[in-house]
Amino acid sequence: MRIGLVGAGRIGGLHARTLSALPEVGELLVADAEPSRARQLAAAVGATAADDPDAVFDAVDGVVIASSSDSHAPLLARAAKAGVPTFCEKPIALDLSTSRSVLETVTDADIPVQMGFQRRFDPGYRRVRDRVARGELGAVYLLRHTSHDHEPPPPAYVATSGGIFADNLIHDFDVARFVSGQEVEEVYATGTVRVAGYFAEHGDVDTAGVVLRLAGGTLALLSAVRDDPVGYDVRLEAFGSGDSVATGWNERTPLASADSGLDADPGLDADPQLDTAAPGRRRGRPTDPFRTWAQRFADAYRLELEAFTELVRTGHRDVAATAADAHEALRVAIACDLSHTEHRPVSLSDVP
């Protein structure tokens, strides 16, 4: 098959390497708003560069949109016009009216759209979701999710990202719905600037906490930090009446234990070997922690594109992360923005 890739930045580069390695992809056509960047990436992965992103849609069997967030809406509308199956990074748009309009456009065009919520494809997250769905955790009391970047994004990225709720935590909002099978009914969000002043310059925060009340009564506690000096830390814990389970805890998780008897001196590069006296517990700081989202979710990014190419090949419509899912996650993000601004809980019924 022939796949188009629009966007040659960080995530575009990752997708280009993944797509070029898939045996189903016979040709990869790369485009970017800056043609020189598309040519550079195409040369690096053995793909073909296109000078005009708009022309890609009429020349491929499927297209992957990995450009800046503010360009997703017009590119999705272009995909609908071409009638081509599309994979799109989140979000659809940065405002609800545009997101709703695009959602209606792709629905009317009847094209399959898979959104880039890669955590739905992560094996650990899927196991937690499956255990919840089978009732193995009993009544799910609480979800706790951590999303800590290793290094803050640059100011130019922050300026167009849509803010910490629509950019970083939107994955967590989607995970809460995905794992619990419940919709979000109410949010309370707060945030502060602890990392760098340029976040405030763009009306953003770099440290945030969110409480979600879900329709089935479950609570979800979410934390986000744009700068974790130890590494990239994203994990989920689910607590229920029958059992508790976590994903994201392994020998590369950038977290040390301070429990008595464990070597957790932050001044030492501790041996990451599991403590023999306490099986399953690491003795201290990992020597090779996750540094980026690409490392932490390497399998998930590959699996989501394998699913997309299978969608293109077969024409099936069983999409794991739909445009409607992306729109709902944006509604939660908008509610969090309102909650943070007005210092109050916000019901999702107040977000049309």
Q: What is the mean pLDDT of residues 89-113?
A: 95
In order of 36, 49, 99, 284, 298, the CA distances from 7 in angstroms are 12, 11, 20, 39, 19
Same domain, 214 and 256: yes
> Residue 271: is its pLDDT beyond 90?
no
Can you name the residues that pair with 211 across neighbouring β-strands?
188, 221
Can you name the residues that pair with 187 across neighbouring β-strands?
212, 346
CB 338 within 8 A of CB 351: yes
Same domain, 215 and 270: yes
Q: What is the mean pLDDT of residues 25-44?
A: 96
Can you name the residues that pair with 113 across neighbouring β-strands?
86
- Taking the C-alpha atoms of residue 186 and residue 176, their distance in angstroms, rounded to an integer, is 13
* pLDDT score for 161: 86
- Taking the C-alpha atoms of residue 342 and residue 352, their distance in angstroms, rounded to an integer, is 18
Half-sphere exposure of 115 (CA within 13 A, CB side): 26
Same domain, 88 and 125: no
Q: Encode 147-183: b = buried (16+ Cβ within 10 Å), e = exposed.
A: bbbbebbeeeebeebbbbbbbbbbbbbbbbbbbbebe
Same domain, 87 and 163: no
What single-letter DSSP state applies at residue 132? H
Cis peptide before 85 (omega within 30 of 0): no
Neighbours of 347 (CB within 10 A): 13
* pLDDT score for 286: 84
- Among residues 124, 77, 93, 89, the alpha carbon closest in space to that of 14 is found at 89
In order of 18, 67, 117, 233, the CA distances from 301 in angstroms are 8, 16, 9, 17
Same domain, 251 and 182: yes
The pLDDT tens digits of the residues spanning 38-60 come to: 999 999 999 999 989 998 999 99
> Residue 151: is its pLDDT beyond 90?
yes
> Domain of 35: which CATH number?
3.40.50.720
Secondary structure of residue 120 in the 3-state scheme = helix
What H or E segment, with its residue span, contains residue 63?
strand 62-65
* pLDDT score for 111: 95
Same domain, 95 and 236: no
Boundaries of domain holding 164: 120-296+329-350
3-state secondary structure 169-231: CHHHHHHHHHHHCCCEEEEEEEEECCCCCHHHHCCCCCEEEEEEEECCCCEEEEEEECCCCCC
- Give the max Cα distance, the chain: 63
* pLDDT score for 163: 93
Same domain, 305 and 254: no
Same domain, 205 and 282: yes
Q: What residues contact residue 128 under an 8 Å CB cut-off, 6+ apart? A: 179, 236, 238, 245, 246, 247
Tell the burial category of 197 from Cβ atoms under 10 Å away from its Cβ (0-12, 13-18, 19+). Answer: exposed
Pick the more confident residue, 247 or 278: 247
- Taking the C-alpha atoms of residue 322 and residue 348, their distance in angstroms, rounded to an integer, is 20
* pLDDT score for 256: 82
The structural domain count of the chain equals 2
> Domain of 268: which CATH number?
3.30.360.10
Where residue 222 falls (left for φ over 0; alpha for ψ -120 to 50; beta otherwise) is beta
Same domain, 192 and 333: yes
pLDDT band at residue 261, thresholds of 50, 70 and 90?
low
In degrees to the nearest 10, what's the CA dihedral of 278, 282, 284, 286? 170
Same domain, 17 and 146: no
* pLDDT score for 283: 53
How open is the CA angle 64-70-71, to the nearest 5 degrees? 40
Same domain, 308 and 165: no
Same domain, 96 and 132: no
> Residue 30: is its pLDDT beyond 90?
yes
The pLDDT tens digits of the residues spanning 205-252 come to: 999 999 999 999 999 999 999 999 999 999 999 999 999 999 998 889
